[in-house]
Structures are given as structure tokens and as C-alpha cells.
Amino acid sequence: MTQRRATATAHANIALIKYWGKRDEELVLPYTSSLSLTLDGLRTVTTVEFGDLPADTATLDGEPLHGTALTRISTFLDLVRERAGLHSHATVTSRNEVPTAAGLASSASGFAALAGAAAAAAGLDLDARALSRLARRGSGSASRSIYGGLALWHAGHDDESSFAEPIHSPLDLAILVILVDDSAKSVSSRVAMRSTVATSPLFFRWVEDSARDLEIALRAVAEGDLATLGETAEANALGMHATMRAAVPPISYFTSGTQEALAAVREARAAGLPAWATIDAGANVKVLTSAADAERLAEWLRARLAGLTISVDYPGPGIAIDKG
Ligand code: 2P0
């Protein structure tokens, strides 16, 4: 058969209102809608080439993938093959480019880039919404990395209604990453989410709070109200981590470094700097601020948290696809 090949580049995103918990594991339908900022810092570049091959193969940063990691890619490629009526296997070559924020390895940029490259290589002509829905099947947060800047992932109720879309705002935002720990996380977010939904008595209370948080955050985004956005984002993230601590057995991604960084962010705020923390499935602390204050805040935090690497990231672009 003729070989079909495409390359896609997608950037990581940080959720300000979080996704945590699936209503449907197969379709990756979340309990909550989420709001994120795509960053320029970390990007994944992925090439997919379908050809006359005995099996799918994949490399990440030059290392061949095996086991669960390869199976997850192959299962995702099956969705693309099914839609394109294609029966051939693929070679997937992927690299993570991390110029600034180490420790931010991201399944969001990874599956967004894989979705874009695989769909284009298979000859599927998908618009951004269809691509967001497809990327969601690989990893929920990848649905948001199709877009640059702020993106809202509507939880929806089925495959069709669960997609992300771009959100416009007068705010010029920035995110600082306080690198507390760059080792791999102890529990994958997929496993941790499942356990939180199944066992945490706080989970459904957080789902309710999250709907209200999203409303407040969207209004703040539209009105250019950074303080309200920041306060809401910080409360939403801390609430998400509280649901995990109440799971059986408890899950905590926080380390003493996380607590120290959180305290420093509170102190920066008390000193009059715009700074609000958010934390994902790991120990690192991300700090929402304005683009105008980002460098000054980074200097302040570096002085307060001597020894920790702090990088500054600005909003990044949506997915770029190169057919050929
Ligand atoms: C988020 N996280 O909204 C949340 C906050 C981590 C904490 O999305 O199982 O890798 O592949 O759909 O997208 C990480 O979860 O999970 C995540 P799957 P994903 O950014």
C-alpha cells in the first residue's frame, strides 16, 4: 500500500478548573467540565506513518515503548483505523521538547499530537472539535491541547457532546512552574482518579463545587478579573486533592516541598503580588499570575525558595499538523 505519514505538534496545558474522575472509562467522559491554559513551554512532536508492517511500534525520545504504554497507543490507533477503514499498522515517533519546565511530562500534549498526526496520516479530515473528541479518547486532558490559550472542555453526556473549545479573554496570563520533584509520579492519574471516584466520600461534593467554580472562573475570564480566577482555581485544585486524601487508601501527591511552595505562594500574595497555586497529579506547584508580573514574581519566589528551579511559561498555540 502507499505509505501515509503526518507530523503534529501539540503543547501541554494546565487546568485551572480540574478534570478528575470519569463517568465512562471507555469513552473518557468526565464528571466535571474543565478549563485550562495551553502553555508554550512543553510540546510534543509526533510523526505517524502507516505502512506494510507486522505490528505498531512507537518510540518516545528515541526509546522504544513496550507493554502498557505501547498498548495504549495501539488501542488509540485502532479508533483511527476503524474510522478510516484502514488495516495497516503504524510507526509512531514522538519526542517531548521541554525548553523550560522539566517535570511536566504530559499525556495531554502526547495524545493531542498523536491524534492529529494519526488522523492526518490516515486521511481523515477532522475539524478542531472532532479532533478534540478523538484526542479525548487517548487522554482526557488531551482534548484541551488541540487549542491554544484558554480552553473549556465540556463534560458532555456522550461521545458527541464531550469536546473542548477555545475561550477568549482580555487577560494576559502566565504560569510559573515550581519544580519540587521531577521523578515519575507514584500513582498514575488514571488509577488515582478511579480510586477517588470509587472510595472518596468527598468526591461528589467536589463535583458539585466544581460546576460552581467553573461558572465563577468563566465569568472572571470574560471580565478580565485575575484575582477571582486565581482564587477559584486555587480552591478548585486544593479541593480536588482533598478528595484524594479522603480516598481509601488515601492518595497524596504532596511532598514537604509542595507545602513549602504553597506557603511561599501565599506569602507572595500577602506581599501584594498576584499569585495563585494549582497542583496536578504530582508534587510540582504551578502558579497562575499575569504576564506583566511573571518575571518579578519568579524572582520573588526564587529568593524565598532557594534551590528550587522556577520557570516562567506563557500561553502557547494550538495543534499544528504537517501532512507529508
Ligand atoms: C487536569 N489532570 O484537568 C487534571 C488535573 C491531573 C490533575 O487531566 O486518564 O492524563 O488519560 O484521561 O488526562 C491528568 O489526567 O487522564 C489530568 P486520562 P489525564 O489536567
Domain spanning 174-313: which CATH class is it, in words? Answer: alpha beta
C-alpha cell at 35: 478549563
pLDDT, residue 148, reads: 98
pLDDT band at 97 (very low <50, low <70, confident <90, very high): confident
Query: What are the cell numbers at 297?
Result: 514574581
Which residues have C-beta within 8 Å of that of residue 16, sequence separation ≥ 6?
35, 36, 37, 217, 229, 232, 233, 236, 278, 288
Q: Which of 305, 271, 303, 309 is nearest to 289 (CA)?
A: 271
Q: Tens digits of per-residue pLDDT, 150-189? A: 999 999 999 999 999 999 999 999 999 999 987 766 788 9
Q: What is the CATH number of domain 4-169?
A: 3.30.230.10
Please report the sign of the dihedral spanned by the C-alpha atoms of residue 80, residue 85, residue 90, residue 95.
negative
- Binned at pLDDT 50, 70 and 90, residue 323 comes out as confident
Q: Ligand 1, atom 20: nearest CA belongs to which residue?
A: 15
**Residue in 179, 62, 81, 208 with CA at minimum distance from that of residue 134:** 81
> For the chain, what's the residue count?
324
79 contacts 134 by C-beta, under 8 angstroms: yes
State the Cα–Cα distance between residues 39 and 11, nearest whole angstrom.
Answer: 6
Nearest to 314 by CA among 295, 242, 192, 9: 295
- Exposure letters 114-142 (e unless 16+ CB within 10 A, then b): bbbbbbbbbebebeeebbbbbbbbbbbbb
107 touches ligand 1 (CB under 6 Å): yes
- Please answer whether residues 33 and 68 qualify as being in contact, where contact means their C-beta atoms are separated by less than 8 angstroms: no
The count of C-alpha atoms lying within 13 angstroms of the C-alpha of 299, restricted to the half-sphere facing its C-beta, is: 3
Map out the domains of the chain as residue ranges.
4-169, 174-313
Comparison of pLDDT for 306 and 200, the residue scoring more: 200
- Distance (angstroms) between ligand 1 centre and the Cα of 257 equals 22
- Residue-wise pLDDT for 108-151, tens only, equals 999 999 999 999 999 999 999 999 999 999 999 999 999 999 99
> Which atom from ligand 1 is nearest to the alpha carbon of 138?
11
Q: Is the CB of 145 under 6 A from ligand 1?
A: no
Q: Shortest CA distance to 300 belongs to which of 263, 271, 258? A: 271
- 4-169 and 174-313 in the same fold: no
In angstroms, the CA 217 to CA 231 distance is 9
Does residue 280 line the site of ligand 1, with CB under 6 A? yes
**Residue 113, Cα to own-chain centre: how many angstroms?**
12
Split at pLDDT 50, 70, 90, the class of 243 is very high
- What one-letter code names the amino acid at 57? T
Looking at the predicted structure, is the pLDDT value of residue 102 above 50?
A: no
Q: For ligand 1, is residue 139 a contact (CB within 6 Å)?
A: yes
Find out whether 39 and 316 touch, Cβ atoms under 8 Å.
yes
Ligand 1 atom nearest residue 18's Cα: 3
Contact 305, 318 (CB under 8 A): no
Mean pLDDT to the nearest integer, 27-31: 98
**Closest-lying ligand 1 atom to the alpha carbon of residue 141:** 13
